């Protein structure tokens, strides 16, 4: 089976976030500003930049018949057997009607790791991945709901 991608492409979200500081700079460029206004503008610009960094460092998740592949931004790939995935759950966070999901797994060094990802809008590939994981690992925890009390 050919690999299927689970994670969404966030090009529109990144473009939208980039527009916020640009629009702010253009809108205030004609005004004489005091120090408190400048500090506020800097904070407003730093927040979208932080969001961009966070979205840029999200990993890509692909899968085939037996493995999940976690691909980092720099191209490093981690191959995780379905049996090593412990939990997949919905997070309360999201962006542009796309939800963040969290997956916990045990890597090849027997360390428990957790990653956050944004699934495609259709969720078809995510549900296929979950079905494959459940067939190989019946003990996996799957939660398709989130509460504000989920602290892990």
> 3-state DSSP call for residue 151?
coil
pTM for this predicted structure: 0.73
Nearby residues of 149 by Cβ (< 8 Å), 6 or more positions away = none
60 vs 16: CA distance, rounded Å: 21
Residue 2 has pLDDT above 80, yes or no: yes
Contact present, 87 and 145 (Cβ < 8 Å): no
Query: What are the distances in angstroms from CA 31 to CA 20, 23, 149?
Result: 18, 14, 44
Among 29-33, 61-65, 70-74, 147-151, which is the least confidently predicted range?
147-151
Average of per-residue pLDDT values in the chain: 82
C-alpha to C-alpha distances, 12 to 33, 52, 93, 95, nearest whole angstrom? 32, 12, 17, 11
List pLDDT tens digits, range 57-94: 788 899 999 899 999 888 899 999 999 999 999 887 77
pLDDT, tens digit, for every residue of 71-81? 988 889 999 99
Mean pLDDT value of segment 11-38: 74
């Amino acid at each position: 089976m050919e690999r299927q991608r689970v994670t969404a492409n966030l090009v529109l979200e990144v473009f939208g976030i980039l527009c916020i500081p640009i629009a702010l700079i253009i809108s205030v460029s004609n005004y004489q500003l005091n120090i408190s206004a400048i500090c506020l503008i800097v904070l407003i610009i730093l927040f979208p930049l932080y969001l961009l960094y966070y979205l840029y460092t999200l990993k890509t998740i692909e899968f085939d018949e037996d493995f999940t592949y976690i691909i980092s931004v720099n191209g490093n790939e981690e191959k995780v057997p379905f049996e090593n995935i412990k939990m997949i759950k919905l997070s309360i966070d999201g962006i542009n009607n796309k939800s963040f999901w969290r997956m916990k797994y045990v890597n090849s060094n027997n360390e428990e790791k957790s990653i956050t990802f944004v699934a495609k809008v259709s969720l078809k590939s995510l549900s296929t991945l979950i079905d494959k994981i459940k067939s190989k690992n019946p003990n996996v925890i799957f939660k398709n709901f989130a509460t504000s009390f989920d602290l892990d």
